[in-house]
Amino acid sequence: MEDYIISTTRTKTLFQYVIPAILTNACIFLSTYVTYVATPFVIGKFSSEAVGGLYTARQLVSIATGVSMFISTGGVTVAAIRLGRGEKEGANQVFMHSLSANLIFALITTILCVFFTEPVARMLGADGSLIPFTKDTKDFIFWWGIFAIPYALFLNFQSFCRNDGSPILAFSATALSTILNIVLSWLFISPLQMGIMGIALAMGISQTVSMMIVLMHFISEKGELRIHRFKPEGKIFRKVLFRGLPQMIAQFATPVTTLCIHLVSIGQAGSKELVAFSIISSITSLAMPVLSGTSEGLQPLFGQSYGAKKEQDLQYYFRSGIIICIVGSISTLAIVVYVVLKTPLLSLWFGVSGEMLIYTIKYLLPVVWACIIAGINTLISVYLYSTKRSVYAIVLNVARSFVLNTIIITGLPVLFGKNIVRFTFGISECVVLILAIILLRISERNRSA
């Protein structure tokens, strides 16, 4: 009976964290789609120059998001372990160090965007003498920069709020941000005709409102973490940054893999491979909320179980995460495959037909099963750095993001011809999975020694 109660409690806790995290990532996916696809192409019908300016400026948002998540992930990883140990004051110290580091970074970002808009635009590739959309890029940079601080704080508060026992509040704030972004994007772009500035304002206002909602968790004394005065310590800053390093390295996996496939397609396989991979990658990204959400939801459970030395809980959450990744991604991707094969989705959304349509469908299944393996690799990485095995996670993510994917994607077509190109992404992820299992076994053996 006692074992049943423990198992039920674990399962309840698992879904209390994982489901809101998956829904949170779904909201982020929807908000990104609205900002960069629906608003410029459907609502606003922007000119090519405006779209070019928006996509050039998008690099800035991606960089800022990556750095903020790097700092936040490192903080929540260390804080989760300390909360598991019952070290509430230590967890609060980590929270304040992560928060202050994010605040400093956001302040620098705001200063650069608002007062040095033109140099930032040039750094992103918008040179007024060469690029016709420089003005649109600068407009977005300036107005988005005004909200850089609340945006960074929202990312930080959201991560720690989930870690501090309020995953539903973190999801609710993200859902509200998404709804506000949709409504304000329509208002600013369609009736008010504000152009690029309207997109930046919609993003900034929606994230600021949601940041204030999540902030209530830390001033209402609902959890263990509080905003308070603290004495900065270099040791804690270094620890936060080191624990966040694996996650930051992992961010390069998708762009480097895409770049390698693009280079191979241009040099050997031809434009068909490039177009097909781009289309299928866009479609299969629908599964990313499940894959990313599972890892994010489990991260605090990994850390707290490790800190409390509850080995059975730790192993239960890890095994459950693998199952959720496999079942959830297969279910999502099965729906995607059905829709692609049984509906005119590719023709309507991407304008492909005839021979190109058949070629794109051939690309579908190799990329689909690769996404499932990629989700498992991500989960193993999160498990490693959440349990004070960051060195192993760094080795895994460097191999996945820079080494194995580059060697396999660019090397196999040279050896076996262009027909293997569409399988290289999946082969790369399978080799990474073998490495991940080896590193996991070694780390477990060293931990128990």
- 321 with 214, same domain? no
How much is the pLDDT for 348? Answer: 61
Q: Residue 1: inside a domain, yes or no? A: no
- Higher per-residue pLDDT: 282 or 415: 415
Last residue of a domain, which of 189, 224, 242?
A: 242
- Is residue 125 very low, low, confident or very high in pLDDT (cuts 50, 70, 90)? low
pLDDT(58) > 50: yes
pLDDT(269) > 60: no
> Cα–chain-centroid distance for residue 219?
27
Q: Residue 303: inside a domain, yes or no? A: yes
- 281 with 160, same domain? no
User: Rounded to whole angstroms, how far apart are CA atoms 439 and 441?
Assistant: 5
- Higher per-residue pLDDT: 51 or 302: 302
Number of neighbours of residue 228 by Cβ within 10 angstroms: 10
Q: Residue 422: inside a domain, yes or no? A: yes
How much is the pLDDT for 403? Answer: 94
- 348 with 299, same domain? yes
- 272 with 332, same domain? yes
Q: What is the mean pLDDT of residues 253-269?
A: 73
How much is the pLDDT for 332? Answer: 76
Best CA proximity match to 286, nearest among 348, 346, 344, 328? 328
pLDDT(1) > 50: no
pLDDT(94) > 50: yes
Q: Residue 129: inside a domain, yes or no? A: yes
Rg, the chain, Cα only: 22
pLDDT(5) > 50: no
Q: Residue 438: inside a domain, yes or no? A: yes
HEC per residue, the chain: CHHHHHHHHHHHHHHHHHHHHHHHHHHHHHHHHHHHHHHHHHHCCCCHHHHHHHHHHHHHHHHHHHHHHHHHHHHHHHHHHHHHHCCHHHHHHHHHHHHHHHHHHHHHHHHHHHHCHHHHHHHCCCCCCCCCCHHHHHHHHHHHHHCHHHHHHHHHHHHHHHHCCCHHHHHHHHHHHHHHHHHHHHHHHCCCCCHHHHHHHHHHHHHHHHHHHHHHHHHCCCCCCCCCCCCCCHHHHHHHHHHHHHHHHHCCHHHHHHHHHHHHHHHHHCHHHHHHHHHHHHHHHHHHHHHHHHHHHHHHHHHHHHHCCCHHHHHHHHHHHHHHHHHHHHHHHHHHHHHHHHCCHHHHHHCCCHHHHHHHHHHHHHHHHHHHHHHHHHHHHHHHHHCCCHHHHHHHHHHHHHHHHHHHHHHHHHHHCHHHHHHHHHHHHHHHHHHHHHHHHHHHHHHHC
Which of left, alpha, beta for 227 (phi over 0: left; psi -120 to 50: alpha)? beta
**Number of domains, the chain:** 2
Tokens of 84: 């598991």
Best CA proximity match to 73, nearest among 219, 223, 292, 222? 292
Q: Residue 8: inside a domain, yes or no? A: no
Q: What is the mean pLDDT of residues 93-105?
A: 95
Question: Do residues 18 and 167 make contact, with C-beta atoms less than 8 angstroms apart?
Answer: no
- 88 with 192, same domain? yes
Question: Do residues 387 and 302 make contact, with C-beta atoms less than 8 angstroms apart?
Answer: yes
- 257 with 336, same domain? yes
Q: Residue 2: inside a domain, yes or no? A: no
What backbone phi and psi angles, to 5 degrees, belong to 129? -80, -15
- Is residue 6 very low, low, confident or very high in pLDDT (cuts 50, 70, 90)? very low
pLDDT(113) > 50: yes
Q: What is the mean pLDDT of residues 268-294?
A: 71
Percent of the chain with pLDDT over 70: 83
- 161 with 233, same domain? yes
Q: What digits encode the pLDDT tens for the residues 202-221?
A: 889 999 999 999 999 998 87
Last residue of a domain, which of 197, 221, 242?
A: 242
Mean pLDDT over each residue of the chain, to the nearest integer: 83
pLDDT(130) > 50: no
How much is the pLDDT for 28? Answer: 86
How much is the pLDDT for 68? Answer: 92
* Domain carrying residue 236: 14-242
Q: Residue 247: inside a domain, yes or no? A: no
Last residue of a domain, which of 242, 266, 284?
A: 242
Q: What digits encode the pLDDT tens for the residues 327-358?
A: 887 887 777 777 767 766 666 665 566 666 67
- Higher per-residue pLDDT: 368 or 226: 226
pLDDT(89) > 90: yes
Residue type, 13: T
Question: Do residues 43 and 186 make contact, with C-beta atoms less than 8 angstroms apart?
Answer: yes
Q: Which range (339-348, 387-396, 426-435) has the least confidence?
A: 339-348
- 340 with 215, same domain? no
pLDDT(24) > 50: yes
* Of 162-166, 265-269, 420-424, 439-443, highest mean pLDDT: 439-443
- 46 with 145, same domain? yes
- Higher per-residue pLDDT: 254 or 349: 254
Q: What is the mean pLDDT of residues 359-381?
A: 84
- Higher per-residue pLDDT: 78 or 272: 78
- 296 with 424, same domain? yes
- 18 with 124, same domain? yes
pLDDT(3) > 80: no
User: Rounded to whole angstroms, how far apart are CA atoms 416 and 414?
Assistant: 6
- 238 with 259, same domain? no
pLDDT(300) > 90: yes
How much is the pLDDT for 258? Answer: 75
